[in-house]
């Protein structure tokens, strides 16, 4: 590595169900905001990397990155799309980061996007369902059912209360209520979570992230240009088939990617002031906090209950509402995490600002924990 990579601009669309706007329009809105925020003009962009999971299947559209460059008349040297299922956004950040590290690009525009509305629901469910290992898919196991099994195992093994899961959703909704870009901007209480329809016992509807449309963008530049330093971006694959894991409560790829990131950033767990984790299901927030070493195994369930992961707690988690309340447009999520962390580290997260936020961590997960990308930023 020759020099630091920095963030000089971020922007995103509101995350919502929005069948009207095209995927290109979603990208354009996020890009306009990020370029404006960075004070970078279209002609300065030297590479474009789009993180997107399934536009071909959802929208019959490939070549998103070229389509975006064409809209702006951009002529950057390198334009591509990166896919790593639900971690496509963070993989695109990593791809742009390496473009800068390699010396090939000096202003990399990263855009995460997904348009899930207006899609044939059976087809969307089928494509999302096939994120899991093909042998497990053949048995009918889905992401929610894996999450339900893990939640059940966790609560039993650690003698934890189902209320612990509810409080993760309650916290993230409370945060989302203060985020104008969040899909759900209203507070809920634990009773509402527990009265919502059962999805995969013990998980209920309000334990699960929604289907969303949206885009988020980040401008990465060389040292001395931006205001937020990307101290590390690292990725790791884990065991794809859940049945092959030694422990059903481990999300090893998150732990591995996290450890590499901490090593590269030369940072300690206690340095982290704010984290955005991949709470596609409430149980995942708990498992990831343990896997990343913020909590000992079997102890993170209590964190949302006691307020430790709330905005005023020791380790505020998902201040933007997380996947649960901000929404989860698949390929956009990993980029939106970096947008939120940037706002937090700049002190711009009005209404949900974490105090004294200097170091932020994001973790974006693919499949049911088969691949993870971890990013550490500092102001």
For its own copies, the binding residues (CB under 8 A) are 1, 24, 53-58, 60-63, 65-67, 69-70, 74-85, 91, 94-95, 98-99, 101-104, 123, 126-127, 130-131, 133-134, 234-237, 239-241, 260, 366-367, 370-371
Nearer to its own copies, 278 or 352 (CB): 278
Distance CA 350, CA 175 (A): 11
Q: Are strands 47-51 and 107-114 parallel, antiparallel or unpaired?
A: parallel
Length of the chain: 379
Angle between helices 162-176 and 282-291 (to 10 degrees): 100
In the complex, the smallest distance separating the C-beta of residue 194 from its own copies, rounded to whole angstroms, is: 33
- DSSP label of 197: P
CB contact burial 5-25 (16+ within 10 A = b; e otherwise): bbbbbbbbbbbbebeebebbe
Which is it for the CA torsion 315, 33, 366, 122, positive or negative? positive
Least separation in angstroms between CB 186 and its own copies: 32
Nearer to its own copies, 19 or 77 (CB): 77
Measured in degrees and rounded to the nearest 5, phi and psi for residue 282 equal -55, -40
Closest to its own copies by CB, 85 or 337: 85
Q: Which C-beta is closer to its own copies: that of 2 or that of 180?
A: 2
Tell me the closest approach of the beta carbon of residue 86 to its own copies, in angstroms: 9
Identify whether the C-beta of residue 228 lies closer than 8 Å to the C-beta of residue 377: yes
Select 63 or 313, whichever has its Cβ closest to its own copies: 63
Give dist(CA 42, CA 28) in Å, integer.
12
- Residue number with CB closer to its own copies (196 or 259): 259
- Of residues 247 and 348, the one with the C-beta less far from its own copies: 247
The secondary structure of 312-373 as a DSSP string is TSSS-B-TT-HHHHH---HHHHHHHHHHHHHHHHHT--TTSPPTT--EEEEEEEETTTTEEE
Q: For its own copies, give the closer residue by CB, 172 or 337.
A: 337
Question: What is residue 15's DSSP assignment?
Answer: P
Are 376 and 363 within 8 A, CB to CB? no
Closest to its own copies by CB, 91 vs 178, is 91
Smallest separation (angstroms) from its own copies to the CB of 21:
14
Provide the minimum distance between the beta carbon of 150 and its own copies in the complex, in angstroms, as a whole number.
Answer: 19
The CB-of-221 to its own copies minimum distance in angstroms stands at: 16
121 vs 129, 142, 190, 232, CA distance in Å? 12, 15, 29, 37
Helix (H, G, I), strand (E, B) or coil at 204: strand
> In whole angstroms, how far apart are CA 334 and each of 51, 280, 362, 367?
9, 12, 8, 13
Beta carbon of residue 94, minimum distance to its own copies (angstroms, whole number): 7
Q: Considering the complex, what minimum distance in angstroms separates the CB of residue 69 from its own copies?
A: 5
Nearer to its own copies, 155 or 237 (CB): 237
378 vs 17: CA distance, rounded Å = 32
Shortest reach from residue 281's CB to its own copies, in Å: 18
DSSP letter string, 234-262: EEEE--SSGGG-S-TT--HHHHHHHHHHH
Strands 359-366 vs 274-276: parallel, antiparallel or unpaired = parallel
- State the minimum distance, in angstroms, from the CB of residue 124 to its own copies: 10
């Amino acid at each position: 590595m020759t020099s630091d990579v920095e963030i000089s601009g971020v922007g995103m669309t509101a995350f919502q169900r929005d069948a009207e706007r095209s995927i290109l329009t979603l990208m354009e809105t996020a890009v306009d905001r990020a370029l404006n925020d960075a004070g970078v003009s279209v002609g300065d962009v030297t590479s474009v990397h789009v993180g997107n999971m399934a536009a071909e299947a959802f929208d019959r559209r490939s070549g998103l990155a070229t389509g975006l460059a064409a809209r702006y008349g951009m002529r950057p040297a390198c334009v591509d799309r990166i896919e790593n299922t639900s971690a496509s956004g963070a993989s695109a950040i990593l791809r742009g980061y390496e473009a800068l590290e390699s010396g090939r690009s000096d202003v990399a525009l990263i855009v995460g996007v997904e348009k899930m509305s207006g899609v044939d629901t059976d087809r969307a469910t089928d494509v999302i369902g096939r994120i899991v290992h093909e042998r497990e898919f053949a048995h009918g196991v889905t992401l929610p059912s894996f999450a339900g099994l893990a939640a059940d195992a966790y609560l039993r093994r650690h003698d934890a209360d189902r209320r612990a899961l509810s409080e993760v959703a309650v916290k993230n909704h409370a945060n989302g209520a203060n985020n104008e870009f969040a899909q759900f901007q209203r507070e809920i209480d634990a009773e509402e979570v527990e009265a919502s329809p059962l999805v995969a016992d013990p998980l209920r509807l309000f334990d699960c992230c929604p289907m969303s449309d949206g885009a988020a963008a980040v401008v990465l530049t060389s040292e001395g240009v931006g205001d937020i330093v990307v101290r590390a971006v690292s990725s790791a694959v884990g065991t794809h088939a859940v049945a092959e894991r030694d422990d059903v409560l481990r999300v090893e790829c998150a732990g591995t990617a996290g450890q590499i990131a901490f090593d590269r950033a030369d940072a300690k767990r206690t340095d982290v002031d704010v984290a955005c984790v991949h709470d596609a299901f409430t149980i995942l927030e708990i498992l990831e906090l343990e896997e990343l070493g913020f909590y000992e195994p079997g102890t993170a369930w209590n964190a949302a209950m006691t307020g430790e992961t709330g905005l005023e707690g020791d380790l505020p988690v998902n201040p933007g509402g997380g996947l649960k309340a901000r929404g989860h447009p698949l390929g956009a999520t990993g980029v939106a995490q970096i947008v939120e962390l940037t706002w937090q580290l700049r002190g711009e997260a009005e209404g949900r600002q974490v105090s004294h936020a200097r170091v932020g961590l994001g973790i974006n997960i693919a499949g049911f924990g088969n691949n993870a990308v971890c990013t550490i930023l500092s102001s």
